[in-house]
Amino acid sequence: MPTASKSLLLDGTRIHDIPSFYDEINRVFMAEVDWTLGPSLDALDDMLYGGYGALDGDAPVTLVWSAFEKNRQDLGVETTCRFLQAKLAQPERFNVAHVQRQLDALAAGTGQTYFEIVLEILAAHSNITLVPR
């Protein structure tokens, strides 16, 4: 017997930058656990594989994302530049040559924004159907 689909609502009106994006991710996906996801794209990807919180089990998920276009701007070029520049300030933790190439690509209009990376991560999880609103 197929597992019933689950619907989740990501409230984009609560999102205005990267920290508030993770606050909303935690509100939606981690409400049933006693820990939260840190602001990490790798952690987001790992969480989407499921096994705890809202993704405990193998039910397909419909993720309705409200204020989607607003969030495209909120997590766009400016936010992504600040995110990458913060990495440049930590050369002991990050490959600065790689981060600089990402910044250069973003400045040239060919790099991915944080929003686009999040969408790519979501698309890699076939159990999740994104419904932008």
Same domain, 37 and 10: yes
Per the structure, the count of domains in the chain is 2
Amino acid 1: pLDDT: 47
Q: In terms of residue numbers, what domain contains 27?
A: 1-75+114-133
Same domain, 68 and 91: no
Residue 63, judged by CB atoms within 10 A of its CB (0-12, 13-18, 19+), counts as: buried
64, 133 Cβ separation under 8 angstroms: yes
Same domain, 8 and 45: yes
**Mean pLDDT of all residues in the chain?**
94
Same domain, 56 and 90: no
**Could you read off the pLDDT of 27-49 as tens digits, one per residue?**
999 998 999 999 999 999 999 99
pTM over 0.85: yes
Among 46, 12, 14, smallest CA distance to 30 is for 46
Instruction: Find the angle CA(123)-CA(22)-CA(114) to the nearest 5 degrees.
Output: 50
- Tell me if residue 9 falls in helix, strand or coil: strand
pLDDT range class, residue 18, cuts 50, 70, 90: very high
Same domain, 25 and 48: yes
**Could you read off the pLDDT of 60-95 as tens digits, one per residue?**
999 999 999 999 999 999 999 999 999 999 999 999
Same domain, 5 and 51: yes
pLDDT range class, residue 3, cuts 50, 70, 90: low
Same domain, 33 and 58: yes
Same domain, 62 and 119: yes
Amino acid 4: pLDDT: 65
CATH at 50: 3.30.370.10
